[in-house]
Structure 1
Amino acid sequence: MNKTILTTLILSALMIGCKDNKTKNNDTSETTKAVQNHTEDTVKEFESSTVYNNAWINEIELNSGAKWEANLETNEGVEKMLKLVEASDPTSVEDYHSLASELNEENNYVIKKCTMTGPSHDNLHVFLHPLIEKIAALGEVSSTEEGAKITAGIKENLKGYYDYFK
């Protein structure tokens, strides 16, 4: 009889614990989903803001009021990217994707050939990071309006290079 009572008590405790646990798991799951949705919305908002604007100019610094010395390959790569953007006349989503591919090749050249070090290199990254995001976003546009907006941001980004580097 003691074994029966003990077994019943243990099973009852487990059943109550399991019910309680399921409720807690559901609450945790709903909270996790809400946090994930909020995080995804925040990430999308951040990505959009860096893709459509040039906030990097608030982070970049001059070299004691002077432009940073950049290596030849970096200057050539930025110049080629700017010429690609200025010469382009995309009329379709595919044209924007193609432009993104060409820009990405030049950007990879700049990154591969960079010999800069120290603060000039750090500031180059401040310039390059949003440019990389914009080029990636251009490669994924789904409308010509979106492509035109991102391309304008890329062009502004590239022209801004000459304000900080020589």
Structure 2
Amino acid sequence: MKTKFAILILLSVIIISCKSEPYKVNSSQDSDVESISISDTLSLKLIDNKKWVANAETHEGITKMDSIISAFKTDNRSDYKTLGKNLSKQTGYIIKHCSMKGEPHDQLHVVLIPMLDEISILREEDSVEKRKLALDNLEQLISAYFKYFKV
């Protein structure tokens, strides 16, 4: 229950702080859409095989998250709660400095929201197996970010 409440609060903060604006699609534009499944209900896509442009702070935060995970695995660490706290600092930085708008902003949420869920598992779950699975999922989401976004 505590986890669900924390996720709900985080999602509210994301929506309020990101300064999202409606995205208008030019109906005469011919777009190729490539779609991958991140979760059961969300889909990340490219338009005309081009990466979305992320703001520098978002890219910096995701890059730091990738480095934190790499160091955790390289050093063969097992303190998943600390890992989750360190990753949460980076997602907080990303959310606080969000300046993206329109479709790129919406596409970022496709990877960022599931990242928040996985980080919550790292911070709060007692099962080592569930934590390992969350870490694997988080690595896949970070990989998807780099595949679909650029600065």
Answer whether TM exceeds 0.5 for this pair.
yes
> Is the partner of 1:133 in helix, strand or coil?
helix
Question: How many residues end up aligned between the 2 structures?
Answer: 113
Percent identity (aligned) = 34
For 2:40 and 2:90, the matched residues in 1 are separated by 20
Whole-angstrom CA distance in 2 between matches of 1:115 and 1:58: 22
Q: How does 1:3-152 map to 2 (within 5 A)?
A: 54-55=38-39, 59-88=43-72, 89-91=76-78, 95-152=79-136
Moved over 4 A (4+): none
Q: Distance in 2 between matches of 1:165 and 1:108?
A: 19
Tell me which structure has the larger Cα radius of gyration.
Answer: 1
Bigger share in helix: 1
Structure 2: segments with no counterpart, 5+ residues:
5-36
> Per the alignment, in what secondary structure is the counterpart of residue 114 of structure 1?
coil
- Root mean square deviation of aligned Cα: 2.2
Against the structure 1 CA distance between its residues 99 and 153, is the aligned structure 2 distance closer, same or farther, given a 3 Å change threshold? same
For structure 1, the residue ranges without an aligned partner over 5 or more in a row are 1-42, 44-52
Give per-residue Cα distances to partners, 1:3-46, cap 9 Å, x unaligned: xxxxxxxxxxxxxxxxxxxxxxxxxxxxxxxxxxxxxxxx9xxx
Structure with greater strand percent: 2
Provide the TM-score with structure 2 as the length reference.
0.68
Question: 2:29 corresponds to which residue?
Answer: none
Output the amino acid matched with 1:75: H
